[in-house]
Amino acid sequence: MSRPTFSGVLVPVVTPFAADLAPDTGRFIAHCKRLLAAGADGLAIFGTTSEANSLSLKERLTLLDALVDAGVPAAKLMPGAGATALPDAVDLMRAAGRHGCGGVLLLPPFYYKVATDDGLFDFTAAAIERAASPDLSVYLYHIPPVAQVGWSHALIRRLIDAFPRTIVGLKDSSGDWSHTQSLITSFPGFAVFPGSESFLLQGLRLGGAGCISATANINVEGIRRVIDAHAAGGGEPEQARATAARKIIEGFPVIPALKALIAADTGESDWARVRPPFRALGADRAEQLIVALSSAGFALNGPGVLKDTAL
């Protein structure tokens, strides 16, 4: 684990869609660039928040190519490479390796809920071996509320032992702090990211790597402030504000809510669009969300960034 790993705040970037539901490459690139400009340490494109499993393999590969072609540094990218089918995971990992991405975020194959640790090890080992991208780092993606299938401690240990240069970290979207805590303390040197900024400061204090959080799509600055304050020896007030913003958004369906906020912020109503099985938030609910944020001191502020008027 001597190669550099991601740290800080990473954004699972939402994916904009055109009227025909095709990915909107121009808006995607623009959003990625403004997130980096706002202080994101990395972009975890093609995650759960990105509706990545609502995209075809080809759509994901094409978007990745376009993003790198547009000048977004591949080293800042951690594309999701998860798939239920081994060949798809291999294709995604190969593309990330070819572009020199900073890593990939790997879901376990999530269709069969009876998968054993042995079977998940086989899948992961086969994906790494077939991708044949020796410089590519793999971050495991643990999100049992959605994928149902997850990475156990025993399996993580086994994967690190088998692929020490490749398996370098994990995103823990269990929503369970005691689980994140146990991962950080069980695997020293392993880059553990809670999947919510609510656990950011607690994580950093224990040696966590930062966070990869959906709400960073609209509040990367607020989350950054927690990290900077922690580095300066503090962080409690900043954490409280980041958590407050997140709690409001969690009161709504998160992906449609984030897109509605970006639509309102950019004035581009197309941003509100989602692919089924999701539905857009709708104008009334979007207005409720904006009012709730505003009442708590959070104002939309141009390029996808919340301004904290309480600061």
Q: Which residues are catalytic?
A: 48, 111, 141, 171
**Identity of the residue, 229 or 254, whose beta carbon is nearer to a copy of itself in the bound complex:** 254
In the region spanning residues 148 to 207, those forming contacts with a copy of itself, defined by CB under 8 A, are 148-149
Among 43, 105, 120, 168, binds a copy of itself (CB under 8 A): 120
Rounded Cα gap, residues 227 and 233, in angstroms: 10
Measured in Å, how far apart are the chain's first and last C-alpha atoms? Answer: 39
**Identity of the residue, 28 or 298, whose beta carbon is nearer to a copy of itself in the bound complex:** 28
Q: What is the DSSP letter of 280?
A: -
**Identity of the residue, 111 or 185, whose beta carbon is nearer to a copy of itself in the bound complex:** 111
* Rounded (to 5) percent helix, strand, coil in the chain: 50, 10, 40
The least CB distance from residue 121 to a copy of itself, in Å, is 8
Rounded Cα gap, residues 36 and 26, in angstroms: 16
Count of beta carbons in the 10 Å neighbourhood of residue 229? 17
The least CB distance from residue 178 to a copy of itself, in Å, is 22
In the region spanning residues 1 to 40, those forming contacts with a copy of itself, defined by CB under 8 A, are 21
Rounded Cα gap, residues 25 and 61, in angstroms: 12
In the region spanning residues 228 to 247, those forming contacts with a copy of itself, defined by CB under 8 A, are none
**Identity of the residue, 177 or 278, whose beta carbon is nearer to a copy of itself in the bound complex:** 278
Stretch that binds a copy of itself, among 105-113, 133-141, 260-268, 282-290 (CB under 8 A): 105-113
Among 28, 46, 123, 190, binds a copy of itself (CB under 8 A): 123
In the region spanning residues 267 to 296, those forming contacts with a copy of itself, defined by CB under 8 A, are 275-279
**Identity of the residue, 79 or 108, whose beta carbon is nearer to a copy of itself in the bound complex:** 108
In the region spanning residues 46 to 85, those forming contacts with a copy of itself, defined by CB under 8 A, are 48, 53-57, 59, 84-85
Angle at 90 between CA 86 and CA 95, to 5 degrees: 155
Q: What is the DSSP letter of 109?
A: P
Among 3, 112, 129, 207, binds a copy of itself (CB under 8 A): 112
**Strands, DSSP E only, in the chain?**
8-11, 42-43, 104-106, 138-142, 167-172, 191-194, 210-212, 298-300, 306-308
Q: What is the dihedral of CA 149, 181, 39, 288, to 10 degrees?
A: 70
Contact footprint for a copy of itself (CB under 8 A):
21, 48, 53-57, 59, 84-88, 91, 108-116, 118-120, 122-123, 126, 145-149, 253, 275-279
